[in-house]
Amino acid sequence: MKRVVYVSATNELGGSDASLFELVRNLDRARFLPTVVLPQDGPWSERYASIGVPVEYVPLKKLRNTLDPRWHLAWLLRAATRVRGITRVLDACSPAIVHLNTSVEVLAAFAIHRWCRRHGGRFVWHVRELELRPRWVERAIFGLVRSWADAVVAISTPIGVRFAGRERVFVIPNGIDLQRFRARALPTVVQRAAAPVVGWLGRVAPRKGLENAIEVFERVADTCAAARLLIVGSEFAEHATFVARLREQVRNSRHAARIDWRGATDSPERALGEMDLLLHLPDLDEGLGRVVLEAQACAVPVVTWPRGGLVDATLDGVTGTFVPVGDLAAAARAVTALLDDETRRRRMGAAATAFASERFGSPACARRVESAYASLAGASA
C-alpha cells in the first residue's frame, strides 16, 4: 500500500476543492492510503473526516493576482513557516507520492520538490489553471511544473498541450459524483413554461463571468417576459468592491424583480435542479469549468463559449451551445432560442446527462489518476 499526501492551498466551496475530494473519496484504499493537507479548518474538513481521511493543517496561501506590495510582503514573511509546515507533515507521513492540487502554491511545491528529492518520494502536480496573470508568472510557474514534477495531471486538453513533449503528462478531467448530480424529475410543461430559469453558479469574482450573464439576461428578458435569472455565488472579502458593484447593477436593472441573487451553497445540485439552462461566459481561459460538468450531469444544457478547457466540457449543439467568444448578443440569441424550444432543451439535457456519465464519473477519473501513480517508479501497477 502506498501512502499519498494531498496538498491543497484552499478549503472553500470551490471547484478545485470539490474535485480533490472526489478524487480522494474514490481512491482505491486497498492500494493507496491518503492524508490531506489543508490551509485551515473549513467546509471540507468534516467531509474528509466522514470518509476516514486524516487532515493536517499548514497555513498555505496560493499566489494572488495583485500588485499590492503589502500582500506580497506578508506572503514572503510567512514563507519559511509554510515550508517547514509541509516538511513536518511529509516527515511524519513518509509518503511514496505527494500530490499538489494547484499550480499556484509555489512554496508548497518547493517544499514538496525538496522533500521528494531527499527522500525518494514522487511529486505529482495537478494543474487546474490554464491562464495566470501576469504572463511572466504563468511562464515561471509552468516552468517549475515542467522541472519539478515527476508526473503532471492536466484537467483538460488545452492544459496538457502546455506540457507537450514532457514525459508523464496525463490529461484527466475532474470527476463528478453522478449520484449527487443527476437529472431531477422534470416539472410539467405548464409549470416549466410559466417561468423559465436561466442560471449562473460560481464564485463571484472578476473575470468569472457573472457580469456577462447579467448583461445577457437583460437582453433575453426584453423579449422573454417570463424568464428569470437565478444567481448562486460564493462571495469573498477580497472581491467585496466588485460584488457591491454588481449588486448595485442588479438593483438598478429594469428587470430586477426577475433576478434572484442567492449566496453560496453547499448543495449546488439543488440550485442546478431549479435551472432550465446554465449560462457560463467567463472572461478567462478556465482549466475546464467544473460547474459546466455538474450542470450537464443534472440534465441542464449550457450556453457558453469555446474558450480554454470549456472545449472539453461541452459538446456544441448536443449538450449545449457554443457562441463566439465575447459575443453577448449571440449568447442572448442562443439563450432565447433554447427557452423558446422546450423539446430541444429536453433533448440536450438527456444528451448532457449521458455525456457526463461517459466522461466525468468520479470512480473512472480516480482510476485514471491511480494509473498515473502506477507509471511512477516505485508505484505498483
56 residue type, one letter: E
Other C-beta atoms within 10 Å of 291: how many? 26
Give the CA angle between residues 10, 241, 258 to the nearest 5°. 95
Say whether both 158 and 221 belong to one domain. Answer: no
Reported pTM: 0.93
* Residue 142 within a domain: yes
* Residue 180 within a domain: no
Average pLDDT over residues 148-166: 97
Distance between CA atoms of residues 302 and 299, nearest Å: 10
pLDDT in tens, 275-305: 999 999 999 999 999 999 999 999 999 999 9
Say whether both 127 and 225 belong to one domain. Answer: no
* Residue 181 within a domain: no
pLDDT in tens, 96-125: 999 999 998 999 999 999 999 999 999 999
Distance between CA atoms of residues 215 and 213, nearest Å: 5
Q: In 3-state terms, what secondary structure has residue 381?
A: coil
pLDDT of 381 over the 50 cut: no
What is the predicted pLDDT for the residue at 65?
Answer: 63
Say whether both 9 and 50 belong to one domain. Answer: yes
Percent above pLDDT 70 for the chain:
94
Contact 323, 334 (CB under 8 A): yes
Say whether both 368 and 345 belong to one domain. Answer: no
Say whether both 201 and 159 belong to one domain. Answer: no
Say whether both 293 and 328 belong to one domain. Answer: yes
Q: Which domain holds residue 114?
A: 2-175+361-374
* Residue 274 within a domain: yes
Average pLDDT over residues 325-335: 98
Query: Which CATH number is 12's domain given?
Result: 3.40.50.2000
* Residue 209 within a domain: yes
Contact 278, 301 (CB under 8 A): yes
Say whether both 155 and 223 belong to one domain. Answer: no
pLDDT in tens, 39-65: 999 999 999 999 999 999 999 987 766
The grid cell for 144 is: 517549475
Say whether both 157 and 225 belong to one domain. Answer: no
Say whether both 199 and 114 belong to one domain. Answer: no
Question: In sequence order, what DSSP letters do the residues of 87-107 get, joined into one string?
Answer: HHHHHHH--SEEEE--SS-HH
Number of domains in the chain: 2
**Residue owning grid cell 439543488:** 270
What is the predicted pLDDT for the residue at 377?
Answer: 66
Say whether both 9 and 153 belong to one domain. Answer: yes
Give the CA angle between residues 345, 350, 296 to the nearest 5°. 85
* Residue 255 within a domain: yes
* Residue 184 within a domain: no
Q: What crossing angle do the helices spanning 15-25 and 290-297 adopt, rounded to 10°?
A: 60
Distance between CA atoms of residues 236 and 42, nearest Å: 14
pLDDT of 209 over the 70 cut: yes
* Residue 380 within a domain: no
Say whether both 121 and 26 belong to one domain. Answer: yes
